[in-house]
């Protein structure tokens, strides 16, 4: 099969990009023809290694240039770029004649099903339905977020298949006839997990509002005086790095490291004993199932969506209601105080991660692709 993935860029170090590389490499190894179509690559190399047979095209739209612009600027610039995007993607897909074209719910999602290139269109969603309403914006931006959430409901319907990551999110979308649940697979398997003896708490992700690392730093500030031998590592990068660095300095924290993204993620997990997540919203957080695979107990807020699907409270980690800051700190204390508890929960986490084995997950994707292609032939 010829399979096209449409994604803003592959140069980012996020969980979605890591998972896409893993799935695409698996499909390429099976002999399928894989093509990536990006809008904002700008000649940057992919962050994660790709199979040599995978071909990439960048449409040169550069939506990212509008980030940080005011509402008026976005209203004037976006329509022009969107029209150009549609034109260039249509021309390319008519040439490629793919069997399957998959949108990662980028800017192409609103028009991809209308492109008559003979392919089946799949929409793959890596967030949660109500993610926009988690931004916490006010005034006109709040109204826009509400309208866009409503518009998302219309966007997903024309696709031949709409794939979400969790049962929790599927319930939010309702009884759509094209809805499927296929979790993300583990990006790796390791025979050498953490022994949970290191005095290190780990968090990873983009430095943006979604991940809410400023809250994690505030909570850590209450723990640092009690646990001077422990350290907090937040691995990632993004627009909020200056603000987070200033926050660490303002609070006088000596045990917090804002680490740059690394390819050595297994080593980073192995050097840690607890994983913490304070996100406002997620889809299916790859960092959680990676942490489980590496034998780390997890402390997380039960944000929409993902943590409830991944963590069994009290078994392989602690799941706190959003806003329960005292409970979050107490859960960290329990684990930081007891190496045996960390190891017990870490062992349970390893077992739980088997649900996300690559072979198991890719069987679901291949079954979907075969179903779509055969329905077209019949």
Q: State the angle between helix axes of 358-377 and 15-29 in degrees (0 to 180), rounded to the nearest 10.
A: 70
pLDDT of residue 263: 87
Instruction: Kindly state whether residues 38 and 142 are assigned to the same domain.
Output: yes
> Between these two residues, 250 and 376, which has the higher pLDDT value?
250
Is position 137 within any domain? yes
Do you know the residue count of the chain? 378
With a pLDDT cut of 70, the percent of the chain lying above it is 94
Do 262 and 133 sit in the same domain of this protein? Answer: no
Q: Do 129 and 239 share a domain, yes or no? A: no
Could you tell me if 260 and 319 lie in one domain? yes
Average pLDDT value for residue range 138-143: 74
Computed over every residue of the chain, the mean pLDDT equals: 93
Q: Which comes out higher in pLDDT, residue 50 or 64?
A: 50
The average pLDDT across 164-180 equals 93
Establish if 228 belongs to a structural domain: yes
pLDDT given for residue 128 in this prediction: 76
Q: Evaluate whether residue 37 is within a structural domain.
A: yes
pLDDT digits (tens, 9 = 90+) for 185-199: 998 899 999 999 999
Indicate whether 106 and 230 sit together in one domain: no
pTM listed for this prediction = 0.80
Q: Do residue 70 and residue 85 come from a single domain?
A: yes
pLDDT > 70? residue 131: no
On whether both 179 and 256 belong to a single domain, the answer is no
| Residue 158 pLDDT > 80 | yes
**Domain count within the chain:** 2
pLDDT tens-digit series, residues 222-279: 999 999 999 999 999 999 999 999 999 999 999 999 999 998 999 999 999 999 999 9
Work out whether the CA dihedral 68, 73, 75, 78 comes out positive or negative: negative
Q: Is the pLDDT of residue 133 over 60?
A: no
What is the residue whose two structure tokens read 């998972």? 19
Q: Is residue 308 part of a domain?
A: yes
Asked if the model's pLDDT at residue 52 lies above 70, the reply is yes
| pLDDT value for 195 | 98
Round to whole Å and give the CA distance between 151 and 156: 9
Same domain flag for 24 and 135: yes
Same domain, 170 and 28: yes
Long-range contacts of 347-352 (CB under 8 A, 24+ apart): 347/295, 348/312, 348/315, 348/316, 349/291, 349/292, 349/293, 349/295, 349/296, 349/297, 349/298, 349/316, 349/317, 350/193, 350/292, 350/293, 350/295, 351/316, 352/292, 352/310, 352/312, 352/315, 352/316
- For the segment 347-352, the average pLDDT, to the nearest whole number, is 98
The answer to the question of residue 180 being in a domain is yes
Residue 135: is its pLDDT beyond 60?
no
User: Mean pLDDT over residues 35-55, rounded?
Assistant: 96
* Same domain? 94 vs 120: yes
Asked, for residue 318, whether it belongs to a domain, the answer is yes
Can you tell me the distance from the alpha carbon of 355 to that of 316, in angstroms, rounded to the nearest whole number?
Answer: 14
- Residue 305: asked if its preceding bond is cis (omega within 30°), the reply is yes
Cβ atoms of 318 and 215 closer than 8 Å: no
CATH number at residue 166: 3.40.50.2000
Task: Tell me: do 138 and 210 sit in the same domain.
Answer: no
Q: What whole-number percentage of the chain has pLDDT above 90?
A: 81
Assess if residue 87 is contained within a domain: yes
Is residue 320, in this structure, part of any structural domain at all? yes
Does residue 152 sit in the same domain as residue 252? Answer: no
Residue 16, domain extent: 2-185+357-373
């Amino acid at each position: 099969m010829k399979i096209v993935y449409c994604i803003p860029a592959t140069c980012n170090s996020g969980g979605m990009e890591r998972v896409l590389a893993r799935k695409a490499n698996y499909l390429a190894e099976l002999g399928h023809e894989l093509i990536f179509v990006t809008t904002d690559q700008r000649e940057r190399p992919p962050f994660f290694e790709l199979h040599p047979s995978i071909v990439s095209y960048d449409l040169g739209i550069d939506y990212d240039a509008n980030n940080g612009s005011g509402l008026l600027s976005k209203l004037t610039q976006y329509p022009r770029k969107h029209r150009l995007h549609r034109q260039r993607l249509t021309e390319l897909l008519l040439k490629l004649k793919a069997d399957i074209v998959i949108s990662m719910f980028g800017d192409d999602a609103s028009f991809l099903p209308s492109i008559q290139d003979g392919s089946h269109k799949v929409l793959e969603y890596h967030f949660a339905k109500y993610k926009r309403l988690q931004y916490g914006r006010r005034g006109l931006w709040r109204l826009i977020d509400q309208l866009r959430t409503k518009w998302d409901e219309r966007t997903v319907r024309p696709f031949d298949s709409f794939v979400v990551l969790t049962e929790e999110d599927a319930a939010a979308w309702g009884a759509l006839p094209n809805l499927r649940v296929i979790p993300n697979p583990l990006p790796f398997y390791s025979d050498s997990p953490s022994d949970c003896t290191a005095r290190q708490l780990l968090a990873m992700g983009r430095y943006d509002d979604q991940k809410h690392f400023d809250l994690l730093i505030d909570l850590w500030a209450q723990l640092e005086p009690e646990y001077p031998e422990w350290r907090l590592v937040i691995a990632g990068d993004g627009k909020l790095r200056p603000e987070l660095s200033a926050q660490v300095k303002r609070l006088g924290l000596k045990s917090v490291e804002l680490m740059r993204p690394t390819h050595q993620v297994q080593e980073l997990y192995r050097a840690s004993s607890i994983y913490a997540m304070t996100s406002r919203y997620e889809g299916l957080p790859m960092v959680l199932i990676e942490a489980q695979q590496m034998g780390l107990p997890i402390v997380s807020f039960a944000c929409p969506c993902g943590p409830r699907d991944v963590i069994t409270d009290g078994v392989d980690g602690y799941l706190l209601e959003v806003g329960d800051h005292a409970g979050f700190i107490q859960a960290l204390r329990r684990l930081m105080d007891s190496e045996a508890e960390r190891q017990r929960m870490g062992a349970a986490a390893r077992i739980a991660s088997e649900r996300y084995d690559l072979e198991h997950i890719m069987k679901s994707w291949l079954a979907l692709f075969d179903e779509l292609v055969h329905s077209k032939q019949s």
